Chain A
Amino acid sequence: MGNWSDNEILDKFRNSETKNYGFNLLMQEYKQRVYWHVRRMVIDHEDANDITQDIFIKIWNGLNSFNEESKLYTWIYRIASNECITFLNKKKRMFFIPIVNVEEQLSAHIDSNENFSGDEIQKKLQKAILTLPEKQRLVFNMKYYDELKYEEIAEITGTSVGALKASYHLATKKIEEFLSKD
């Protein structure tokens, strides 16, 4: 987290004179987290860029009605997660491709040098994560990379903590098996 609390950002955004400033603070605070959350789901940079921009436009349009029942970042993560799932579903519908082909397509992006600069084990890990169903992939990424607590992920996904723990455990097992294969 940076220098500004969510409450300070919200106060600035809700004041018409400092609305733009408040929104800039919000973007500074969350742009990288949102982008990487999206990028790990859609793999391609151009897609991640478009979706990230759309997410922040949605945040701009919806922030006035944000009721603070949840924390700001869980609300943002929820929007981002929904946008990713919507994008992936649209992609499948648009090209009438069965799910396995979308995964293959995403996996091919990982092989492209312009998209990926990590080492072989990181590449293999990303490909292993792609073998998971989308929602399990979301949960795995939030727990493994963003290191969110199960309670926070539960708030974002609307799933029980118990189910999330089970999902993460199974995902880890599947990934480790994939990585252990030659």
Chain B
Amino acid sequence: MSQKINIEELKKENGFSVPPNYFDSLENTIQERIHTKEHKSLLFRFRYPSIAFAASFIAFSIWLSSKNDFVPTAVAPATIDYVSYVNENIDEFEDEIVYETYTPTASIEVSEVEQKKIEKTEALDEYLLDEGVDEEVLLDEL
């Protein structure tokens, strides 16, 4: 014979278990995820304009240095400024670009290829923004 059970008379514990100290570390895990996402989002916004700026500066400096009437003292401060700009914003640059910047054999051909890549990326960015593609969805795909 089965016995009638009244659930209001039972202990209101659900019986599930969690790993030890789970709740102690939950906040940190969530904060880390939030800040990683925001960092990625910032990079997405600022990386490409910075690369474009840096690449055009390299191209301009190399073009200037190839000129016969080039005055070395005039370009020196600009080159130094560029190096310090890269140093200050090193996180915003892709490794490839940083290596090229610090390689003495960096040639104008390399910069042109890079420039084309950037133009293509910018065109893609514009297309994606025009199409209203969700930035977060895109970042998750990366």
A contacts, CB < 8 Å to B: 20, 23-24, 27-28, 31-32, 35-36, 39-40, 43, 45, 49, 52-53, 56-57, 60, 114-119, 121-123, 125-126, 144-145, 172, 175-176, 179-182
Contacts and interface: CB of A to CB of B under 8 A. Distances in A.
A125 B34 contact: no
Given A144-B7, A182-B2, A53 B16 contact: no
Given A27-B27, A31-B23, A122 B2 contact: no
16 contacts: A31-B23, A45-B16, A49-B22, A60-B34, A115-B16, A117-B15, A119-B15, A123-B15, A125-B15, A126-B14, A172-B7, A176-B4, A176-B5, A176-B6, A179-B7, A180-B3
B66 to A, nearest CB: 48
B67 interface: no
A24 B29 CA distance: 11
Interface in B10-26: 10-19, 22-23, 26
Contacts of A39: 14, 16
A126 B19 contact: no
The contact size tier of chain B is: 20 to 34
Enumerate the 5 nearest inter-chain pairs by beta-carbon distance, A residue then B residue, closest first: A118-B15, A122-B15, A117-B17, A179-B5, A27-B27
B27 A24 contact: yes
Given A116-B16, A172-B7, 6 more contacts: A28-B27, A116-B17, A118-B14, A118-B16, A122-B11, A180-B3
B23 to A, nearest CB: 6
Contacts of B26: 27, 31, 35, 52-53
Residue of A24, A39, A52, A125 contacting most chain B CB atoms (<10 Å):
A125
**Interface secondary structure of A, over-half rule:** helix
B38 to A, nearest CB: 9
A118 B15 CA distance: 4
B117 to A, nearest CB: 32
Contacts of B13: 118, 122
B39 interface: no
Nearest to A109: B16
B45 interface: no
B111 to A, nearest CB: 39
B30 A56 contact: yes
Contacts of A27: 26-27, 30
A57 B34 contact: yes
A122 B5 CA distance: 12
